[in-house]
Amino acid sequence: MEHADAVVVGAGPGGSAAAHFLAEAGHDVVLIEKESFPRDKVCGDGLTPRAVQALRSVGLADEAEGAPPGWQRQQGLRMYGGGVVLDLPWPQLEDWPAHSVTATRATMDEALARNAVKTGAHLWERTEVTGPVWQRASQRRVAGVRYRREDGTEGEIRAPIVLAADGGSSRFAVALGLHRLENRPMGVAIRAYYRSPRAEMGMMEGFLELYRGMGEGGAEGGAKKELLPGYGWIFPLDDGLVNVGWGLLNTSEHFRSTNYRRTLDEWVAGFPPEWGMSAATRVGRPRSAGLPMAHNRKPPLYRGAMLVGDAAGMVNPFNGEGISYAIEAAAFAAEAADTALRARSDGPLLRYERAVADAWGGYYTLGRIFVDLIGQPAVMRFCTEHGMPRPALMRFVFRMMAHLTDRRPKDLTDAVLNTLSRAVPAA
């Protein structure tokens, strides 16, 4: 049996960030990852200004600027929809950077994990957490984890602080008896990599019109094209690659009846030839994953364990972004854990749940209303056709969906969005 101050299950962005913050505070931290780095994860690979700020918070200043090999920087988002192409620069705000960055998750996650090690965390790769260890007195509070290494050896590590950051399916949370809330939104996204000249465009791209049954040649070639209430993206990466993908919400009647791979292929087949994307330029195979949104596993503090990132469903329902919230939640969790360890009391752990609710609870409630609306094709069509031709409206929507406002309002957008987020109760 081994001991530590804290054990973190999963070395994704949230887990690695939590390990970094706790090690930085002087605690003995073990970060457990079932695979070895570098390893792939299904993602859009895009980091909005909110996520750029999160990278800065863990000390990855160069990566936050898109400077190292494998990272790239963009100045805004180009939106397509309703026959309109609209360039939206990232807003100039006091609280957030005015640029985004991209990197594959293989590159990004390894950088975050190695950064935690540099701070003092112990990284155990190729080690699977098989379940919780319970406190002997009550058998209800988590007191550590059981693990199995790749070579088959098994053991236990006891720690007063356990953080679960093992992804949307979170086997550790399920082992605690905490399951996903079925009334919260869930998305599915599929992505593939292509070699394309668009890797040099310096903009992220978003698409509000996706059709099922487009056929070869894109939307114009489909005899029975059907608008889907989803969105697509092209994100430029380093080394001539682009990440191309699309996602759909479970609030849509098409959620279970759509062939995601076929729709991706049909959509890509409709791109202009000069974009250079086809089966011949695809790198690897398309991969899909679920997006657990709007706090779809609650509470984030359960039986003494803290859930961070996708394990707690901390994905923004407006835009599918999860990395920034995972790192921000890691900071909240680490602060509460640090106080609890120093006080030798569980009481301060309750601050974590309050911090999460205060930070995004109302905003995520608004997002749940939003996804219910856009799950209807008619609503999606109306918003696209009437919103895209109005740049001022789209700038407001852009800020809302990216969750970018200053805490001290500088304009009407800040005031409206902050007021709405505070007025709507966290749920």
pLDDT at 50: 98
pLDDT tens for each residue of 362-387: 999 999 999 888 888 788 888 888 89
d(CA 240, CA 222): 30
The answer, yes or no, to whether residue 1 has pLDDT greater than 90, is no
The answer, yes or no, to whether residue 206 has pLDDT greater than 90, is yes
* DSSP bridge pairs for 155: 147
Q: Is CATH 3.40.50.1970 correct for 2-73+93-182+293-366?
A: no
The answer, yes or no, to whether residue 219 has pLDDT greater than 70, is no
Mean pLDDT estimate for the chain: 93
The answer, yes or no, to whether residue 359 has pLDDT greater than 50, is yes
pTM, full prediction: 0.95
pLDDT tens for each residue of 69-126: 999 999 999 999 989 999 999 999 999 999 999 999 999 999 999 999 999 999 999 9
pLDDT at 214: 54
pLDDT at 257: 87
Using pLDDT thresholds of 50, 70 and 90, give the confidence band for residue 254: confident
Q: Is 58 left (phi over 0), alpha (psi -120 to 50) or beta?
A: alpha
Using pLDDT thresholds of 50, 70 and 90, give the confidence band for residue 211: confident
The CB density around residue 123, as the number of other CB atoms within 10 Å, is 20
* For the chain, domain boundaries: 2-73+93-182+293-366, 186-292
The answer, yes or no, to whether residue 218 has pLDDT greater than 50, is no
pLDDT at 222: 42
**284 exposure class (CB count in 10 Å sphere: 0-12, 13-18, 19+):** exposed
8 Å CB contact between 395 and 388:
no
pLDDT tens for each residue of 36-66: 999 999 999 999 999 999 999 999 999 999 9
Residue 359 or residue 410, greater confidence: 359
pLDDT tens for each residue of 82-98: 899 999 999 999 999 99
Using pLDDT thresholds of 50, 70 and 90, give the confidence band for residue 216: very low
Q: What is the 3-state secondary structure (H, E, C) of the chain?
A: CEECCEEEECCCHHHHHHHHHHHHCCCCEEEECCCCCCCCCCCCCEECHHHHHHHHHCCCHHHHCCCCCCCEEECEEEEEECCEEEEEECCCCCCCCCCEEECCHHHHHHHHHHHHHHHCCEEECCEEEEEEEECCCCCCCEEEEEEEECCCCEEEEECCEEEECCCCCCHHHHHHCCCCCCCCCEEEEEEEEEECHHHHCCCEEEECCEEECCCCCCHHHCCCCEEECEEEEEEECCCCEEEEEEEEECCCCCCCCCCHHHHHHHHHHCCCHHHCCCCCCEEEEEEEEEEEECCCCCCCEECCEEECHHHHCCECCCCCCCHHHHHHHHHHHHHHHHHHHHHCCCHHHHHHHHHHHHHHHHHHHHHHHHHHHHCCHHHHHHHHHHHCCCHHHHHHHHHHHHCCCCCCCCCHHHHHHHHHHHHCCCC
pLDDT at 252: 84
The CB density around residue 182, as the number of other CB atoms within 10 Å, is 8
8 Å CB contact between 62 and 189:
no
d(CA 416, CA 318): 16
CA angle 331, 418, 380 (to 5 degrees): 100
| Share of residues in the chain with pLDDT > 70 (%) | 96
Using pLDDT thresholds of 50, 70 and 90, give the confidence band for residue 290: very high
Using pLDDT thresholds of 50, 70 and 90, give the confidence band for residue 224: low
d(CA 382, CA 392): 17
The answer, yes or no, to whether residue 317 has pLDDT greater than 80, is yes
Using pLDDT thresholds of 50, 70 and 90, give the confidence band for residue 256: confident
The answer, yes or no, to whether residue 215 has pLDDT greater than 70, is no
CA angle 228, 260, 168 (to 5 degrees): 100
Using pLDDT thresholds of 50, 70 and 90, give the confidence band for residue 217: very low
Across 28-42, average pLDDT:
97
pLDDT tens for each residue of 142-192: 999 999 999 999 999 999 999 999 999 999 999 999 999 999 999 999 999
Across 333-358, average pLDDT:
97
d(CA 118, CA 217): 50
